[in-house]
Structures are given as structure tokens and as C-alpha cells.
């Protein structure tokens, strides 16, 4: 038996609880992992609170991230004792996930734990941090360079935003963080923000074309925030869009794209192929100061994850939530 968060659904009513689960119930897969840490991402918050239909079958163990040690494997790439990381691939949505002491997964979904990080640090980064790295990679590949001017990070105190601020600063950019948390300016400055703006300045519908300010943008908010970010992006600049914390709509015009050549770069972490995944983790290993992870992440036990998920969706959480599944 092992402990896991289990989401169940009967007659359209979702229930979530910490349960003891029999190993015979583990799903199919060629690698069994003793999990050390998982995390809470926005998507886990949506799944646990039931605010969006993230879990696609029931019962479901949520958790789109995990780090642990291979217990047994019939996959050619992995053997008992290997330290592995899992981010995405629909785990925690359609396949039992990481908020559990044991997981059984497909070997092709796993990457080796980067040598630069402990398991705990890799989960302090988690999907949110790895997505931030994908966003920075996308901007850099689009030709955005520090000499072109300021870059904007929206949802700056969130998981994606926090890591994006730190990575962009390290890459030499002048970073402007947009946040709704007036109390967290010192936090953002510590991560590397050069200037902080109130997210309210981006949340009202604005003009189709605004003063050209941003050379690049990492947006985890969507909706009017993304529309305004595009409208204020400089000629030839790029906007990496990865999130919907402010809404899934996109009330924009094509003007920034057709008159200023602004590029809108969609970023997905879930099905990202192994190449970009490894590149993103390599950027994190090279550019993210591990000491900052102690500032960005706070740790909770498995039993606290249900309450913390509600706080995350209510926007009350700063940075990343690390879950020790063995306490």
C-alpha cells in the first residue's frame, strides 16, 4: 500500500482525498518509480479543485511533475536506481501522476535528473520552471536580444513568472515584472526584476496598437493581458504565450502582427519533444542559481496538497509549491 491524492467522480460530483492505495491498482507502464517529490502547478490546482476538467478519467491521481528513483524497469533506457524526472505527457490528467508515493509510467516520458540539481531542486523548478525555460528559449530563438530593450513577464510572482524573471535576468535582459501582489516587490527584485508594474495596467481592454515598449514578453496570464502585451511589443519583437491564469480568451486585433511584425509564439510543455525538453533543462542547469530556489519554492507534505491547491487557484500563492510525498 502507498499514499496518494485520489480524485474521484460520481454523478458529476468530484471528491478528493488522501488515500491508501494498493499497488495492484497502479496503471500500466514499463517503469515503476519510488517518488520523492511532486509539485503543485496551476493545472494541478485546477484538477484538484475541479475548477476545470483536467482529470480525464477516474479515479485519478493528480500531479503533472515528479522526481524519484526507478524501482524496476523493462524499458531499455532505465534501470533500478536511476534518478528520473517527469514533466507532463498527460500524467496527472489521463494517467496516474506524481502526488503519490509510487508511480508507474512509460519510460519514454522520463528524463534523467540533471546533474546540476538535487531531486528537491528539480521539483522546486517543476513544470512551471521548465515551461519558463521553454519560453525564454523561444524568445531567444526568435532573435530577441538584450540590446533590443525591456522584456515583460506577466504573472511574475507565479511559478512560471518567477523562474522566467530569474532566467531572463541571468541571460542579460532588462526585466519588467507585472504582478497583482504589491507585497512581493522585494521578492521580484531579488529574483532579478529591474522594474515592477501593477498588473491592473494590463488587464483592461486597450488600444490595438500601443506605445512600443517590449522587445519580448513571457506571458502566463492570457486574455486582455496578452492582448495588451502584444499591442505594446516593439516592431519585430516576440511574445511567448504559455498560460491562462487570467483567462483563456484572447481579445486582440491582428494589428501588432501585420503592422509591426510581432510574433506570437505558442509554448506547450506537455507534449514538447525530448530535444526542446533537454534544452530547457540545460538552460535551467546553466542559468538558474540554485540558491534562488529556496526563495522561490516552499515545501508542504502530501496531506497539505488539497488545501494548497485551492489557495493556488485563488492566486494566494507566491512562487512554487514543492510537495514531499513521504510526509
CB of 225 to ligand NDP, least distance (A): 6
Q: What sign results for the dihedral spanned by CA atoms 255, 257, 259, 260?
A: positive
Closer residue to ligand NDP, CB minimum distance, 242 or 264: 242
Which cell numbers in the block locate residue 281?
Answer: 533543462
User: Which is nearest to 321 in space by CA: 181, 184, 125?
Assistant: 125
Closer residue to ligand NDP, CB minimum distance, 185 or 260: 185
Which residues in this chain contact ligand NDP in the complex, by CB under 6 A?
A: 41-43, 127-128, 131, 155-161, 179-181, 199, 220-221, 225, 242-246, 267-270, 312, 315
Triad 248, 166, 126: Cα angle to 5°: 60
Closer residue to ligand NDP, CB minimum distance, 5 or 191: 191
For residue 150, the cross-strand partners are 174
3-state secondary structure at position 164: helix
Question: Can you tell me the distance from the alpha carbon of 156 to that of 169, in angstroms, rounded to the nearest whole number?
Answer: 13
CB of 2 to ligand NDP, least distance (A): 26
CB of 258 to ligand NDP, least distance (A): 25
Closer residue to ligand NDP, CB minimum distance, 21 or 86: 86
3-state secondary structure at position 51: coil
**8 contacts 14 by C-beta, under 8 angstroms:** yes
- DSSP for 34-62 reads EEEEEEE-HHHHHHHHTSS----SSSB--
Question: Can you tell me the distance from the alpha carbon of 129 to that of 287, in angstroms, rounded to the nearest whole number?
Answer: 12
**301 contacts 323 by C-beta, under 8 angstroms:** yes
Closer residue to ligand NDP, CB minimum distance, 70 or 240: 240
CB of 290 to ligand NDP, least distance (A): 19
Closer residue to ligand NDP, CB minimum distance, 48 or 102: 48
Strands (E) in 129-227, as ranges, are: 150-153, 174-179, 195-198, 214-219
**117 contacts 290 by C-beta, under 8 angstroms:** yes
Closer residue to ligand NDP, CB minimum distance, 21 or 221: 221
289 CB neighbour count, 10 Å cutoff: 13
CA 311 to each of CA 99, 189, 282: distance values in angstroms, whole numbers, following the listed order: 17, 24, 31
Which cell numbers in the block locate residue 254?
Answer: 491582428
CB of 222 to ligand NDP, least distance (A): 7
CB of 105 to ligand NDP, least distance (A): 18
Nearest residue (beta carbon) to ligand NDP? 158
The half-sphere exposure of 33 on its side-chain side, counting CA atoms within 13 A, is 35
Closer residue to ligand NDP, CB minimum distance, 114 or 246: 246
Closer residue to ligand NDP, CB minimum distance, 32 or 131: 131
170 CB neighbour count, 10 Å cutoff: 17
CB of 230 to ligand NDP, least distance (A): 16
CB of 115 to ligand NDP, least distance (A): 24
CB of 229 to ligand NDP, least distance (A): 12
Amino acid at each position: 500500500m502507498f499514499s496518494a491524492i485520489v480524485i474521484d467522480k460520481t454523478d458529476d460530483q468530484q471528491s478528493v482525498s488522501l488515500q491508501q492505495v494498493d499497488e495492484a491498482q497502479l496503471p500500466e507502464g514499463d517503469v515503476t518509480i519510488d517518488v520523492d517529490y511532486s509539485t503543485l502547478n496551476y493545472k494541478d490546482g485546477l484538477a484538484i479543485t475541479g475548477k476545470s476538467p483536467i482529470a480525464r478519467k477516474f479515479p485519478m491521481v493528480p500531479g503533472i511533475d515528479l522526481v524519484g528513483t526507478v524501482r524496476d524497469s523493462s524499458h531499455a533506457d532505465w534501470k533500478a536506481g536511476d534518478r528520473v524526472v517527469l514533466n507532463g505527457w498527460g500524467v496527472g490528467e489521463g494517467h496516474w501522476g506524481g502526488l503519490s508515493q509510487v508511480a508507474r509510467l512509460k519510460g519514454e516520458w522520463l528524463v534523467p535528473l540533471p546533474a546540476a540539481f538535487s531531486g528537491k531542486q528539480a521539483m522546486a523548478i517543476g513544470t512551471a520552471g521548465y515551461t519558463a525555460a521553454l519560453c525564454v528559449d523561444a524568445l531567444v530563438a526568435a532573435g530577441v536580444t538584450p540590446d533590443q530593450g525591456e522584456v515583460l513577464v506577466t504573472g511574475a510572482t507565479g511559478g512560471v513568472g518567477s523562474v522566467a524573471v530569474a532566467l531572463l535576468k541571468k541571460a542579460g535582459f532588462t526585466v519588467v515584472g507585472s504582478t497583482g501582489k504589491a507585497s512581493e516587490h522585494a521578492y521580484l527584485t531579488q529574483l532579478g526584476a529591474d522594474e515592477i508594474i501593477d498588473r491592473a495596467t494590463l488587464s483592461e481592454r486597450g488600444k490595438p496598437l500601443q506605445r512600443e515598449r517590449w522587445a519580448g514578453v513571457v506571458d502566463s496570464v492570457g486574455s486582455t493581458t496578452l492582448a495588451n502585451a502584444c499591442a505594446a511589443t516593439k516592431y519585430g519583437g516576440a511574445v511567448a504565450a504559455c498560460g491562462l491564469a487570467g483567462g483563456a480568451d484572447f481579445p486582440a486585433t491582428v494589428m501588432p502582427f501585420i503592422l509591426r511584425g510581432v510574433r506570437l509564439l505558442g509554448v506547450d510543455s506537455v507534449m514538447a519533444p525530448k530535444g526542446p525538453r533537454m534544452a530547457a533543462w540545460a538552460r535551467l542547469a546553466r542559468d538558474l542559481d540554485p540558491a534562488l530556489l529556496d526563495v522561490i519554492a516552499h515545501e508542504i507534505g502530501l496531506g497539505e496538497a488539497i488545501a494548497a491547491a485551492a489557495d493556488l487557484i485563488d492566486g494566494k500563492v507566491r512562487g512554487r509549491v514543492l510537495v514531499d510525498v513521504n510526509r
